[in-house]
Chains A and B, each alone.
Chain A
């Protein structure tokens, strides 16, 4: 019988608490100085919260997706460290709750003149009135609550089923087959939420006049690749603590391949969206890229491409770099930061125009969210054994060669 318990080290807990306190301080500071200020200061206060809560929710929800995808495909490679995506997935409800609070405050709490979601009060705007049967408060609230509810439920369910499988009699596969069925159900839910409605409502509707039909795939690619990077960071951290002894370079190589492949996939979708708009050159579509490419956001626009395409393709292409702990950890951090910048470029230009900031408030709020991530996930990880001892794929994952 293999056992492997993780105890939250006091240093990690202190780091988490300090980061969370920085976030709370930034929030209080923003509440005191930005909210009573000019209109773009108010918009900044809410947009930063929107960007971070949605980003962290999407990234952690990607952990449920990879469990479901690997579960349905009966992949053995992930089983060695599947407690990590399980622990991240089981805490989706925390980020979901925060995202719901922020989104509902923006939609319902900002009165007549909404600085972020212009569609809340279309007042004579023909385009927005035409979209109002889909873009309205009721539909927004309904889709958001159903999505966050289902993600949270599936995240908790996957973990509890996996733990139940450990307690089940040896060689019993009843719960395992239930997990396969649930994986299929989750993929259906995820396809209808992450790959269509939620990015439309939460992010694309910031630029309510503009639309892109593959926007949701693009957001999915962004969150999936950073989700894999997040799983990798936690796994390497646990390994450095002396846990997860049987997780080897072979398993890290798999995650490295995912980070590499989905960085390219992200670029593919990003470019497909960009090139069609560039080629057709229709004013209502090009406004989205005008402010980002030629306006005040040009730096972030190109930084986004360099961080998320040029660095991954050059650094992660070679096999040895995917099997080196330093390069994959470095690239995982780069990718998470790069996609945070990607979400920044998606959300900020609409409400803020040229009044962009990357300052104490933005960085403080990120710290807060990282603190929440560290505290919740480490607490969940410590609750159960790190080896899924009764998983039918345990042997396959131990001898796995990527």
Chain B
């Protein structure tokens, strides 16, 4: 929960955004994030982000589900409460398979959804600073962190050369917080600035 100073640049075209991202990555200034109104193919590659490990987590959740279902049912039907169902063996593996399958799918699905929410910091009630109201509408927004106050003007000038239609400097909460809309954030920012 740190309040920091950010330089914000807005672009109205993907064709300008991609070279701008390249220049920003090569400039040496600290890139905070890029916001786009829709998923832009290839932007993750341009940003140099490594491929997600979400599917490995999913595999682990799935295996956990399989083990839970098989282990729990085996324990119930052989040790805890053995009942003779139609002359079938107590350890009736074929009858366990559908439930094992369902539990595998459920563990993997629920686990991956929660992991996804955690990784992206999205949850009911979680709020984040919005750098530009049109970032969910029709603008691509590159946000740079101003680590050194002296370089503020330098960074803004640099962003203008990359084809930004609009630039801005904002003081904002870096991470996320729980709460109602903007109230808490404004209060905090004012306190920090003062």
Cα distance A327–B151 in the bound complex, in angstroms? 52
Q: Is A279 touching B55 in the complex (CB atoms < 8 A)?
A: no
Question: Is B2's CB within 8 Å of the partner chain A?
Answer: no
Q: Is B87 touching A271 in the complex (CB atoms < 8 A)?
A: no
Q: Is A281 touching B86 in the complex (CB atoms < 8 A)?
A: yes
**Given A317-B59, A319-B55, does the pair A278, B86 have CB atoms closer than 8 Å?**
no
Q: Is B59 touching A279 in the complex (CB atoms < 8 A)?
A: no
**Given A317-B59, A319-B55, does the pair A279, B94 have CB atoms closer than 8 Å?**
yes
- Which residues of A sit under 8 angstroms from B95, Cβ to Cβ? 275, 279
Give residues of chain A (294-327) contacting chain B, Cβ–Cβ below 8 Å.
317, 319
Q: Is B86 touching A271 in the complex (CB atoms < 8 A)?
A: no
- Which residues of A sit under 8 angstroms from B67, Cβ to Cβ? none
Question: Is A176's CB within 8 Å of the partner chain B?
Answer: no
- Scan B79-102; emit 1 where CB is below 8 A from any A CB, else 0: 000000011100000110110000
- Which residues of B sit under 8 angstroms from A275, Cβ to Cβ? 94-95, 97-98
Q: Is A281 touching B87 in the complex (CB atoms < 8 A)?
A: yes
Closest to B41 in A: A401
What's the interface size class on A, roughly? under 10
Question: Is A274's CB within 8 Å of the partner chain B?
Answer: yes
Cα distance A281–B55 in the bound complex, in angstroms? 40
Closest Cβ of chain B to A263, distance in Å, is 15
Cα distance A326–B104 in the bound complex, in angstroms? 30
Cα distance A317–B55 in the bound complex, in angstroms? 10
- Which residues of A sit under 8 angstroms from B94, Cβ to Cβ? 271, 274-275, 278-279
The interface centre, meaning the residue of B59, B94, B98 with most chain A CB atoms within 10 A of its CB, is B94
Closest Cβ of chain B to A269, distance in Å, is 13
Cα distance A278–B97 in the bound complex, in angstroms? 13
Main secondary structure of the interface of A (DSSP, over half): helix
Closest Cβ of chain B to A288, distance in Å, is 15
Cα distance A271–B87 in the bound complex, in angstroms? 20
Cα distance A275–B95 in the bound complex, in angstroms? 7
Q: Is B55 touching A271 in the complex (CB atoms < 8 A)?
A: no
Closest to A268 in B: B101
Cα distance A271–B97 in the bound complex, in angstroms? 9
Closest Cβ of chain B to A1, distance in Å, is 29
- Scan A280-297; emit 1 where CB is below 8 A from any B CB, else 0: 010000000000000000
- Which residues of B sit under 8 angstroms from A281, Cβ to Cβ? 86-87
Cα distance A293–B87 in the bound complex, in angstroms? 19
Counting residue pairs across A and B whose Cβ atoms lie within 8 Å, the total is 15
Cα distance A61–B87 in the bound complex, in angstroms? 43
- Which residues of B sit under 8 angstroms from A278, Cβ to Cβ? 94
Cα distance A306–B34 in the bound complex, in angstroms? 47
Cα distance A112–B86 in the bound complex, in angstroms? 42
Cα distance A110–B68 in the bound complex, in angstroms? 55
- Scan B4-20; emit 1 where CB is below 8 A from any A CB, else 0: 00000000000000000
Closest Cβ of chain B to A37, distance in Å, is 39
- Which residues of B sit under 8 angstroms from A317, Cβ to Cβ? 59
Closest to A275 in B: B94
- Scan A260-271; emit 1 where CB is below 8 A from any B CB, else 0: 000000000001
- Which residues of B sit under 8 angstroms from A274, Cβ to Cβ? 94
Give residues of chain B (122-181) contacting chain A, Cβ–Cβ below 8 Å.
none
- Which residues of A sit under 8 angstroms from B59, Cβ to Cβ? 317
Cα distance A319–B98 in the bound complex, in angstroms? 26
Cα distance A193–B59 in the bound complex, in angstroms? 38
Closest to A280 in B: B86
Give residues of chain A (155-196) contacting chain B, Cβ–Cβ below 8 Å.
none
- Which residues of B sit under 8 angstroms from A319, Cβ to Cβ? 55
Cα distance A275–B55 in the bound complex, in angstroms? 30
Cα distance A275–B97 in the bound complex, in angstroms? 9
- Which residues of B sit under 8 angstroms from A279, Cβ to Cβ? 88, 94-95
Closest Cβ of chain A to B55, distance in Å, is 7
Give residues of chain A (234-288) contacting chain B, Cβ–Cβ below 8 Å.
271, 274-275, 278-279, 281
Cα distance A236–B24 in the bound complex, in angstroms? 41
Cα distance A317–B59 in the bound complex, in angstroms? 10
Cα distance A76–B79 in the bound complex, in angstroms? 55
Cα distance A278–B88 in the bound complex, in angstroms? 9
Closest Cβ of chain B to A272, distance in Å, is 9
- Which residues of A sit under 8 angstroms from B87, Cβ to Cβ? 281
Closest to A401 in B: B41
Closest to B95 in A: A279
- Which residues of B sit under 8 angstroms from A271, Cβ to Cβ? 94, 97
Closest Cβ of chain B to A77, distance in Å, is 16
Cα distance A281–B59 in the bound complex, in angstroms? 35
Closest to B87 in A: A281
The interface centre, meaning the residue of A279, A281, A319 with most chain B CB atoms within 10 A of its CB, is A279
Closest to B55 in A: A319
Give residues of chain B (39-70) contacting chain A, Cβ–Cβ below 8 Å.
55, 59
Cα distance A84–B88 in the bound complex, in angstroms? 49
Closest Cβ of chain B to A239, distance in Å, is 25
Cα distance A274–B98 in the bound complex, in angstroms? 12
Would you mind naming 15 contact pairs between A and B with Cβ atoms under 8 Å apart?
A271-B94, A271-B97, A274-B94, A275-B94, A275-B95, A275-B97, A275-B98, A278-B94, A279-B88, A279-B94, A279-B95, A281-B86, A281-B87, A317-B59, A319-B55
Given contacts A275-B95, A279-B95, 11 further A-B contacts (CB under 8 A): A271-B94, A271-B97, A274-B94, A275-B94, A275-B97, A275-B98, A278-B94, A279-B94, A281-B86, A281-B87, A317-B59
Nearest 6 A-B pairs (CB), nearest first? A275-B94, A278-B94, A271-B97, A279-B95, A274-B94, A275-B97
